[in-house]
Structure 1
């Protein structure tokens, strides 16, 4: 039985290392002025690039993804004193990397989803030019996760230095990076609160310090904990000595009165700064942003800060169309915003650790996280297993301080692992998270793990996991709503499915497939979600999935996302959005509060049985300003466990015009949505998607540009599928993607990629028979 100490949890988030005056630490983005070439040997001709970077721009449907060897190089200055050290920190290189500094090989690293750090001090020219070369390779390799050949894999691993690189300088006496230290449960800062209430939070701050001087050093540590309002808590350690050429862990007890707790609705964060003081000088300063929260599985469910919560979540792959994994920190943030706006408070990292910027966004937005070891249906040899265990350690070291991380999937997804491996995997996680306060998770119900996380399709219909019990162990349904319908063992509602064609029965529906099939996808998710909520030991679930994506083994886009690959919502998106309570108020930059959405385009081909999604008590439906009816949702076996069942309305016959839905709470209208019958397409409305994050003015960024084909009233024409051509006028920017591109369900999309955003960008679009359109990015037009 888990001890009381281990079931109360808090995390902290590692956001960034900041420069502080009067000390020697700096952290510089190292992404500019690189050169690149796909080549087996060191090339003689190079292409200038900026990071993050993908080895090859891929087509929209990736059916012959690049695999091979590629090179990067950069010339740089690195002036530093004799008392300083210089490091390079790589957030991710896919998926083998060899590093040379000034023609001396300094490092080899395997695995593309976790960071590594290199002490390059001994190899540098202190006053002159330096050159770094990186040889990368993303060929199939069975010796480290994911291990499975790409053409058999359910996702892609795109080559390149696809995440950030930083140049870090410190004093020889410094707080380490957890990857640099490479010690179980150590390195850098490790913050843990083991006793938490609204009145008091107490725990420890562990700081790992390294002294690379040839002399012992007398040291004290200063701690500063600052809340969002600027209120600061200060304290100092007892003096201590760290011997020459050695390292030391210092554990400091901490107590916070009346803490501002981190939650899904109020993700309060604190800034923690730890300073090394020696000879009355600030020698080093290391900052993190931490959150205090209590995460607990009890006999009757999951609790966050002593409030019971059924966890509503999704799965996400980190790829973008064309660019693969090479997306900016700001684009990562926008994806997290979309997840939160869809009504989810949880995301599973399927099936690998995601970017550090995405983790940071989850902390800032109040999204709970299941962190996941890289893997899918592959159990390799002894070398593979050793590398998988090391990845568990590196994942824990990188992410142990995030308040968002509540579950650790320290197992290989849908893989027949040996009992010995599972014991080693859970033991490694325990060593790394030595203060306890975490939950390990596995898709196999194994006694070494705390939480059982099967997919819904891993059990049999009609009850799936609802009647499963194994002592006090709880279930989190890690995937649902896709495969069980794709494979046609579709749960309870077989009568409705009896007349459907195979492709119409599936949850894998593109926006181009039309209203009926999009409604079927939404109903599948609804039915499965409703079923999961009836399980006596189920504490939450995550649908499969948020965004459509490419995978190595199939020559089509996997389309069970509630948004398409361009992040355009399908009807099912609004089903999930309606499941968030109307009285939950989030940050103003997020969507929350009362909502109502008509799942129809209202054309002659639209179903006359209308579905309306809302979190209101009643919905009134009007057709051309005439009331059809005002009603509460009808309770059926397919929605009776949902907090906010959909509303259904029957229209006797199609009459063109306007459908309007009004949502009511306590008899008062609080939300409204209208849809008009589209007429002939005449024009293009251009917009771009910011999702609460402006285009980065200083570093590479990318946003989706949407050409919405409308009639003269501005109503989307969903049957329009002709080609749209895009063009651009602006510096340091380009369009990425197929151009011209065929519109899908009335919208054509292209990706705008910027290097720096200092001057206006004008994008134009045209299509046969349509009025051309122009978009000035400075207008900050946002997609609806």
Structure 2
């Protein structure tokens, strides 16, 4: 059995390393830290990323039971970890995105684990070796577990959902044992409870379940089942959640559970302000909610690396398809580098192959050139470890060598006419500059040379970077470019769907982005606050699930060129909208039949029949959304916005104090008389807190009318965190209650 305890507390951290430091036993001169941990706290903008690219060292005292096998498991250490026990070297793991385990062989009860972490961009470790357009930060940034093993325990479990027909399956469970014994395997959920007795043998084991009718998993109905392995009939050896679904990319698009299922998705970087990758579990889970509910997506691509176990589990539970990708960005290194990549692929697949949300493995380094030998190996390895899923390889090349099952392509051919304009001044040449008719996407045949299973995995992004506080016209154009490509994906039945670049703004190296170390490519900013483009995606979801109505306007006179106020694109899934100007109805508006975005499930409604010349009277505007004749959304604008109020929202009113730190998100908005964000307002909001810590400091930058921060718990006990936010004469208060968790230990 296994006794598993998360040990994110009682770590000590040295922000420098010199040879021999791993043998330290006196820790008082080092900083006490909780995990997840980033080696350096960074400002939001204009920092030097080389600050974290160095060697550091972590220490933790451990009480070990010498009569059992002790294992320490690291879920993610960036980027190379050298592990020592009592000063003696144990192992090195390369790669910051996949887990690894180390056996702690000792006869002592009192022990010291030291982890020397090299966060530099080493040429022998993916994704490094050349330029990469994102930051990797440093440190032990995911959970760490201490595991005691004795007797029987389960290794490499793989739940294989063998489909017979429709929603009928005959699954198998494969796993490894080092000790023989009697087992019982139980599957429960959705009116199913099946027990299968099995005589476990040393080595490989296969348990065959009887034929069963099940509720299939989908983003709309994410049905999950509980899989439990018992030693005998009572002692739990292993437990996880599994799901049943049929997922296939074909020449005629993507099919889920036997039905055509157009994919609409975005890419996600696991990057947060101030702490980089080191955000606790609840914020990995929250990102899934944002992608699924706020943005209305049905797929996420984990660009460009495997992401946290908590994120993957939340995709299962909340219902979000996943295209999971290996670490890398354009560059392929030497043989040593490639060996590490293959190891990382194995670690990724073994960790995640039981997730029903994952429908595609990415086994090609993002936007790299063809490499027959390497990609033959990556495909073969992935198919051996998981023959149930298809493979894809994200490329920018037309007609490149196709070794995978799905031709996955970054198509940046739609430029909104920028190339034509630039060619009047200079000769423009980029890797994605192809001469095609100005449509949203290239055809499958043009890209692959023939009709093959095909998925678009990036578009927009760097072609039109847009800040949330940009001029209204740029925000509108940003949204329209996403809409054009998405419409083209829906138009072509041979395209399985499109996954845009990208969900959130992210931090990057000095040779990318806007010079402030930020790529403004997201439909939301790095704090997860929406830009206009977010509404393109959000408005495509079923209105019965969530009505959406977002007019692409700030309703001003003079932010657009020529002092225009229309056209106003209203991205909505409502049936119709009513427009009221100066308190008088201007009538009802519906979608134009056969319009520019006719292939979208819910094309925008365009308001262009009224306009106001510079100097004419300008009044308030109200837009009302109707669904089946019922008012479901209203948006009001004043014609004379002034600072009216400071709104403050807490994501959590209760946090769990445990071995790891937890955080609540504090969102503050300076709004006008109608509750609208003031999009050009800058400055800061002052936070006073009694208890906890404000990540990034107490002067929270006000960016385009919005100030966002996270408040974390600290190791010392406290019952509550009291918060006061001040902006000018405005003052808001909040309380976060802190509950201490008794234990984080599980026995299996």
> TM class by shorter-chain length?
0.7 to 0.9
Q: SS in structure 2 opposite 1:762?
A: strand
2:132 aligned partner: 153
2:491 aligned partner: 534
1:344 aligned partner: 297
1:632 aligned partner: 590
Is residue 576 from structure 1 mapped to residue 533 from structure 2 by the alignment? no
Q: SS in structure 2 opposite 1:533?
A: helix
How many Å separate the matches in 2 of 1:626 and 1:695?
A: 48
How many Å separate the matches in 1 of 2:174 and 2:461?
A: 43
What are the superposed Cα offsets for residues 752-777 of structure 1, whole Å, 9 maximum, x if unpaired? Answer: 12246962222222234x32222223
Q: Where in structure 2 are there 5+ consecutive unaligned residues?
A: 413-431, 560-564, 739-748
Offset at residue 62 of structure 1 (A)? 5.3
How many Å separate the matches in 2 of 1:771 and 1:174?
A: 58
2:221 aligned partner: 266
Mapping of residues 605-624 of structure 1, within 5 Å: 605=558, 607-624=565-582
Residue among 191, 210, 234 paired with 2:178: 210
8 Å contact 2:637–2:674 — kept in the other structure?
Answer: no
Offset at residue 109 of structure 1 (A)? 0.7
The count of residues paired between Structure 1 and Structure 2 equals: 687
Shift in CA distance, 322/199, structure 1 to aligned 2, threshold 3 Å: closer
Residue among 746, 752, 756 paired with 2:711: 752
Q: SS in structure 1 opposite 2:178?
A: strand
Offset at residue 711 of structure 1 (A)? 4.0
How many Å separate the matches in 2 of 1:282 and 1:714?
A: 57
Offset at residue 537 of structure 1 (A)? 2.3
Shift in CA distance, 36/240, structure 1 to aligned 2, threshold 3 Å: closer
**RMSD (Å), alpha carbons:** 2.4
Mapping of residues 136-215 of structure 1, within 5 Å: 136-149=117-130, 152-176=131-155, 188-211=156-179
Mapping of residues 268-307 of structure 1, within 5 Å: 268-277=223-232, 285-307=237-259
- Please identify, of 663-672 and 700-709, the stretch whose mean Cα deviation from structure 2 is larger: 663-672
Mapping of residues 464-479 of structure 1, within 5 Å: 464-466=441-443, 468=445, 470-479=449-458
Shift in CA distance, 399/564, structure 1 to aligned 2, threshold 3 Å: same
Shift in CA distance, 736/200, structure 1 to aligned 2, threshold 3 Å: same
TM normalised by structure 1 equals 0.83
Is residue 129 from structure 1 mapped to residue 110 from structure 2 by the alignment? yes
Offset at residue 694 of structure 1 (A)? 6.1
2:62 aligned partner: 76
Q: SS in structure 2 opposite 1:441?
A: strand
1:497 aligned partner: none
How many Å separate the matches in 2 of 1:604 and 1:397?
A: 57
1:257 aligned partner: 212
Offset at residue 778 of structure 1 (A)? 5.3
Offset at residue 310 of structure 1 (A)? 0.6
How many Å separate the matches in 1 of 2:640 and 2:257?
A: 48
Residue among 77, 97, 113 paired with 1:113: 97
Is residue 725 from structure 1 mapped to residue 686 from structure 2 by the alignment? yes
What are the superposed Cα offsets for residues 477-524 of structure 1, whole Å, 9 maximum, x if unpaired? Answer: 1001224xx2xxxxxxxxxxxxxxxxxxx2x11112132221111111
What are the superposed Cα offsets for residues 120-150 of structure 1, whole Å, 9 maximum, x if unpaired? Answer: 1x2252xx3211111101112111200235x
What are the superposed Cα offsets for residues 243-293 of structure 1, whole Å, 9 maximum, x if unpaired? Answer: xxxxx111111235330211011101111001233xxx8665111110111
2:402 aligned partner: 447
Offset at residue 562 of structure 1 (A)? 0.7
Residue among 199, 217, 223 paired with 2:185: 223
8 Å contact 1:315–1:545 — kept in the other structure?
Answer: yes
Mapping of residues 538-577 of structure 1, within 5 Å: 538-552=495-509, 553-554=511-512, 555-556=515-516, 557-577=518-538
Residue among 662, 673, 683 paired with 2:635: 673
Offset at residue 624 of structure 1 (A)? 4.1
8 Å contact 1:374–1:412 — kept in the other structure?
Answer: yes
2:724 aligned partner: 764
8 Å contact 1:600–1:675 — kept in the other structure?
Answer: no
8 Å contact 2:455–2:496 — kept in the other structure?
Answer: yes
1:494 aligned partner: none
Q: SS in structure 1 opposite 2:533?
A: helix
8 Å contact 2:506–2:526 — kept in the other structure?
Answer: yes
Q: SS in structure 2 opposite 1:398?
A: helix
Offset at residue 317 of structure 1 (A)? 0.3
Q: Where in structure 1 are there 5+ consecutive unaligned residues?
A: 1-23, 177-187, 212-216, 243-247, 487-505, 584-591, 780-784
1:15 aligned partner: none
Offset at residue 332 of structure 1 (A)? 0.3
TM normalised by structure 2 equals 0.87
Residue among 43, 55, 61 paired with 2:39: 55
8 Å contact 1:582–1:595 — kept in the other structure?
Answer: yes
Q: SS in structure 1 opposite 2:292?
A: helix
What are the superposed Cα offsets for residues 166-198 of structure 1, whole Å, 9 maximum, x if unpaired? Answer: 11112133212xxxxxxxxxxx21011121545
1:183 aligned partner: none
